[in-house]
Structure 1
């Protein structure tokens, strides 16, 4: 059902925003002042560059862990190796960067889901070590990106994990569709 603002209301308070202001030819992208979009992009550019580097590292992590799994004879042991190295590096990073004494009572009173981030990391590392040798890096990462986009849209739409609620937009749905189409094209061309 839609309302007068051009927003489709979905179940549980979620909505899809429609903004027809950009052009009649491309109605799915929200209208924004070009200078504000450019300013937003430029102000976030250093972070986006770091994100690109992190993306490259993430892509490389999967075949590296797959090779460790092959040599160790176990994806689980490759996961232990990878996560052990991660633990050492994160502890060292925390030792250098954390200045204030942590208030551990805050984490003790955190919601249950604040404790599962490590589980997600372990599942990803071991899963990648198993899947990448069978699919290759590109197809695996296409599937991962699709999953990330779907998970992000659900998390934003419903305000999961403490995130502010952000409605689904047609542009977001178009982006997910493009990633899915890319995965299908890649599979068909292989």
Structure 2
């Protein structure tokens, strides 16, 4: 039961993503450049997290905990900028569905590599044939969704 619940929450969170891309694209047009929209979006994210930190009385982090950590722990911020900027630039060009299927295909390939090698601090998980087949089907779906645009 908890796994199903977590999967449903993840699906709901995923449902917010196309709205983020579309809204950020409109914000980029209004601000005159996609990078201003990226900065504004990330600033709004920070403004949304700050009240939660205060409400939950989360203690300040210890910067000493950062010493000796691998440098890759900072890549999440870089990945956020890459994704937000790509979404607001590419979603208007591709459409929401085409952009999202391409993003999901890329996420699945990267996730299989992370699982297979135990990347970003996660325990390695076997890349089983069923996972490869599922990823191949999503990749095929990405091609099918894009096909009409490529055929023009």
Q: TM-score, normalised to structure 2's length?
A: 0.91
1:123 aligns with 2:82: yes
1:173 aligns with 2:101: no
- Distance of 2:108 and 2:9 partners within structure 1: 19
Structure 1 ranges of 4+ moved more than 6 A: none
State the match for 2:109 in structure 1: 150
Cα RMSD, aligned residues only:
1.5
- Per-residue deviation at 1:66? 0.6
State the match for 2:100 in structure 1: 141
- Per-residue deviation at 1:92? 2.0
- Distance of 1:98 and 1:113 partners within structure 2: 28
- Per-residue deviation at 1:189? 4.1
Structure 1: 5+ residue stretches without partners = 1-41
- Per-residue deviation at 1:185? 1.4
- Distance of 1:82 and 1:57 partners within structure 2: 14
* Post-superposition CA distance 1:92-122 (Å, at most 9, x none): 2222235445332112332101112111101
Equivalenced residues, count? 149
- Distance of 2:124 and 2:7 partners within structure 1: 23
Q: Between Structure 1 and Structure 2, whose CA radius of gyration is higher?
A: 1
Structure 2: 5+ residue stretches without partners = none
State the match for 1:52 in structure 2: 11
